[in-house]
Chain A
Amino acid sequence: MVGVRYTRRPVPQDGSRVTEEPSILERVAAGDPAAPNECIARFSGLVWSLARRLCTSPSDAEDAVQEIFIDLWKSAPRFDASIASETTFVAMIARRRLIDRGRRKMRRPEVPQIAETVADSRERVDDTERGEQQRLAQRAFEQLRPEQQQVLQLAIHHGCSHEQIATATGMPLGTVKTHARRGLIKIRQILEQQGVLSPEDRARLEDSAEGTR
């Protein structure tokens, strides 16, 4: 397949991403009655934090979080620990739902509101999920050019549209788009080189999924 040529990711030294024990999402998919509550306990902080950054109000964020967990339980059968961690998968589903909501409503959070949200969240630190994978992602982000970091900071962390970023930074819209695109491509390349994301397994999974369609 064109565009998906990568080397296999290295086997994690600590075995943290490939385990014989079923993950929470795998147990949700299998119908384990205890798994949904464990899913809430483990990921509600992450999902809520994402929602607060990308939603216009707390009530909107609450609605979004409920939608996201329903979405997550429906999507649980698609989770594959060999491609990404549960946390990453949950964040992807959450972001996808939040972006869809934002597009539907055709409104985005304003930058000043986001700055306040970030300041608030700094007060509360959750140490339960901080791991090597997140450090690698942070390092990948820090390898970007400053202007790419600036654009992606606003796009990913604050949910700003390209137009809002152009207004906030004074960059031409086309420049914003270029920085966003190329910055994210760079991050993906770094993460794949580091084995955080596994394109080879992804390609195999997609081939398998195609066969079932």
Chain B
Amino acid sequence: MNGPGRDPTHRPASRSVDDLRERAAECALTGEPWTWEEERLAQSLGMDLAAETEAFELAAAEVAVAEILRRGATEPPASLRARLEAMAVEPQAETAPTVVHPVAMRAVMSLRTPLAVAAGVALGAVATLLVLRSDDGRRDGARPVERDPVAFIRARPRAVHWPWVATSDPHVVGSVRGEAYFDPDSEDGLLEIEGLAVNDPSVEQYQLWIFDAGRDERYPVDGGVFDVTERGRVVIPVKARLSVEKPVMFAITVEKPGGVVVSARQIALLAKP
């Protein structure tokens, strides 16, 4: 939502470290995402935008805490406190180092319907046999996929891995990091993503699409839907059951719950060589 040219008061391309630092302060206050141009400029300047933003988030938090304590904190309702304590019974189930919430395993077979992407190219969903894996990394007794990208690459010398590139979609929040990893031999992969907004599964879900060199580019493989339940880094294991001979691009779109076979939504993230 903060793409250059959309906001007349928004400086389209920060030209210096100081300008970028001001943007970091603004992003810390508003949650606005970085633009692609700002990210690239920061990289060229050797500046870590995520670190800058977090430093300002901490500063804002200090001020907020001081104000709360000055005026007095308010205790939550007893009913809420009870729910929190119930949640605390098994917190470790929620504290896995990787946050993986693929909630709908899609297996839509042989669908060839168009998906309009930002560039206006019609894409379609073909047989979905690349599915998002469950939280424990296993599906139907298959061996688990490593959630550590480094270990994944070490174990799969032919695996490809490409960085995510953000679009101006408002679901991109903050600095986008991470890569898409895929091994054409084992046909499994990892989506390491930082910078996607937490989604409300009752309203929308993220959907993965995989472009294969062996298929018509208008008909990418539908990779299923998933949720992002916290801001920050998430790692989502994927496993292909249909052959993806040579992945050439990954895309993530925002769709209605359960995903779609035809989409006109703008792509949030892309990963390609």
Residues of chain A whose beta carbon lies under 8 Å from any beta carbon of chain B: 1-4, 28-29, 31, 36-37, 39-40, 44-50, 52, 58, 62, 65-67, 69-71, 73-77, 83-84, 87-89, 91-92, 95-97, 99-104, 118, 120-126, 129-130, 133-135, 137-138, 140-141, 152, 155-157, 161-162, 172-174, 177, 180-182, 184-185, 187-188, 191, 196-197, 199, 202-203, 206, 212-213
* Chain A residues in 8 Å Cβ range of B80: 44, 48, 62, 65-66
The secondary structure that dominates the B interface is: helix
25 CB < 8 A contacts A-B: A3-B52, A4-B52, A4-B55, A28-B91, A40-B88, A44-B76, A45-B76, A46-B73, A48-B76, A66-B83, A66-B84, A74-B99, A76-B95, A87-B65, A91-B64, A96-B57, A100-B198, A103-B170, A121-B74, A123-B72, A125-B72, A126-B73, A191-B62, A202-B54, A206-B51
The stretch among B27-35, B112-120, B135-143, B240-248 that forms the contact with chain A is B27-35
Q: What are the residues of chain A within 8 A of B121 when measuring CB–CB?
A: none
Whether B22 is near chain A, meaning CB under 8 Å from some CB there, is yes
B26 CB to closest chain A CB (Å) equals 5
Q: Considering the chains assembled together, what is the distance between the CA atoms of A125 and B69 in angstroms? A: 7
Contact assessment for B9 and A140 in the assembled complex, using a CB-CB cutoff below 8 Å:
no
Chain B interface residue bracket vs A: 35 or more
- The interface residues of chain B lying within 8 Å CB-to-CB of A47 are 76
Tell me the bound Cα distance from A184 to B23 in angstroms: 11
Q: With the chains together, A3 CA to B75 CA distance in Å?
A: 39
Given A104-B198, A177-B9, does the pair A122, B25 have CB atoms closer than 8 Å?
no
Q: Which of A122, A138, A172 meets B66, CB within 8 Å? A: A138
A197:B95 contact, CB within 8 angstroms:
no
B residues with a Cβ closer than 8 A to A are: 9, 17, 20-23, 25-26, 28-31, 45-48, 51-52, 54-77, 80-81, 83-85, 87-88, 91-92, 94-97, 99, 149-150, 170, 173, 177, 197-200, 229-232
A103, B196: Cα distance in complex, Å: 12
Q: Which 3 A-B pairs have the closest CB atoms?
A: A125-B72, A36-B88, A45-B73
Question: B29 to A1, Cβ gap below 8 A?
Answer: no
CA distance A46 to B67 in the complex (A): 11
A184 is contacted by which of B56, B170, B197 (Cβ under 8 Å)?
B56
In contact, B51 and A4 (Cβ under 8 angstroms): yes
Q: Which residues of B contact A97 (CB under 8 A)?
A: 198, 230-231
Q: Are the C-beta atoms of B9 and A173 separated by less than 8 Å?
A: yes
Which one of A2, A91, A103, A173 lies within 8 Å of B61 (CB-CB)?
A91
Q: In the complex, which residues of chain A have a beta carbon less than 8 angstroms from the beta carbon of B54? A: 92, 202
A48-B75, A100-B173, A202-B55 are known contacts. Are A2 and B47 too (CB-CB below 8 A)?
yes
Q: Given the known A-B contacts A40-B85, A45-B76, are A140 and B51 also in contact in the complex, defined by CB atoms under 8 Å? A: no
